[in-house]
Amino acid sequence: MLLQRVITALVLVALLLGSLLAASAWPFALLTLALLSAGGWEWGRLNQAANGPALAMGAAVALGGAAALAAGWTTQAPPALWWGAFVLWLVGGAVALRCGPAAWPQLPRLARWGLGLLALWAAWLALAQARSIGINFMLSVLCLVWMADVAAYFGGRAFGRRKLAPAISPGKSWEGVWSGVAGVVLLALFWVWLDGRFGVDSSSVYSRLLDSLGVAGLALGVLLLCALSVVGDLVESLVKRAAGAKDSSRLLPGHGGVLDRVDALLPVLPAALAMTAVTALGAWR
């Protein structure tokens, strides 16, 4: 299992780095679209779709991405799109987590399918636009989610006492959540220092928030993004628990499925672009 995880991770890193460092943004956009389209197939399978409809759902994500590429939205999508996704995740995620796994299958299948496909498409589009803003900006958003996850894991193991959502993900604790927030705060401060010290292709999400909204805006932005990363993780866990599945699929040997790897990113990416739209009203670097 460990060898599978390492090999899969190395292959994915090699593909992503190769596409990311290409002179054009197209290779990265197409590779990530393929991955999230596979996530569309997984979402269908987790939500009572037979293999044919599930494959069609993956194709729908791919076609939606192609349409966004043709419309030029990967470089400048309407800000209302990001705010819509942001609000939908805040409200819908809170309602879903409050109702629990038992209530999820009670929603009409078409509604569940549509919500998942919309979340995957919006996350991919936000990722593609983040890449067009700059690699430094995009990595600052991705690393926020990774730091929140890693710090929450170790903080939860060391200090975890109060369960966060025992009916959905028994291993998560409130202490882990606050450890994740602390880790991201340290990351944000370090990244702001890096932005000022070294030449980068773009300002990070942290510098943009700090420059336009001040320390309070940076703190609130970091807190909201950390909270959304937890919501994304828990929502996917809720759907898997409702489906009686341990992993979203076995597409990534040793890692489970695509959704298992990107769940926390789904709400964070559009939210980061929504916050970027706010900073556009202030003093950008």
Per-residue pLDDT reduced to its tens digit, 176-230: 999 999 999 999 999 999 999 988 889 999 999 999 999 999 999 999 999 999 9
Q: Which residue has the tokens 């890449």?
A: 131
Taking 50 as the threshold, does the pLDDT of residue 284 lie above it? no
Tens digits of per-residue pLDDT, 39-49? 999 999 999 99
As a dihedral over the C-alpha atoms of residue 28, residue 34, residue 39, residue 43, rounded to 10 degrees, the angle is 140
Tens digits of per-residue pLDDT, 127-167? 999 999 999 999 999 999 999 999 999 999 999 999 999 99
pLDDT tier, 6 (very low <50, low <70, confident <90, very high otherwise):
confident
Nearest to 250 by CA among 8, 2, 16, 47: 8
Residue/partner pairs of 153-161 with CB below 8 Å, 24 or more apart: 154/179, 155/179, 155/180, 155/182, 155/183
Higher pLDDT, 280 or 20: 20
Mean pLDDT on 94-100: 95
Q: What is the pLDDT of residue 282?
A: 54
Mean pLDDT on 83-102: 95
Q: Which residue has the tokens 């991705």?
A: 142
Taking 90 as the threshold, does the pLDDT of residue 28 lie above it? yes
Q: What is the pLDDT of residue 13?
A: 82
The structure's pTM equals 0.94
> What are the structure tokens assigned to 261, written together?
């790897």
CB distance 211 to 284 below 8 Å: yes
Please give the Cα distance from 5 to 192 (Å, whole number): 33
Higher pLDDT, 30 or 22: 30
Least confident of 25-29, 30-34, 80-84, 149-153: 25-29
Please give the Cα distance from 224 to 221 (Å, whole number): 5
Residue 231: what residue type?
V
What is the chain's mean pLDDT, rounded?
92
Taking 70 as the threshold, does the pLDDT of residue 257 lie above it? yes
Q: Is 235 exposed, middle or buried (0-12, 13-18, 19+ CB in 10 A)?
A: buried
Least confident of 17-21, 30-34, 107-111: 17-21
Taking 50 as the threshold, does the pLDDT of residue 8 lie above it? yes
Vertex 109, ends 105 and 113: CA angle to 5°? 110
What whole-number percentage of the chain has pLDDT above 90?
82
Q: What is the pLDDT of residue 1?
A: 58
pLDDT tier, 283 (very low <50, low <70, confident <90, very high otherwise):
very low
Please give the Cα distance from 195 to 202 (Å, whole number): 8
Taking 70 as the threshold, does the pLDDT of residue 68 lie above it? yes
pLDDT tier, 25 (very low <50, low <70, confident <90, very high otherwise):
confident
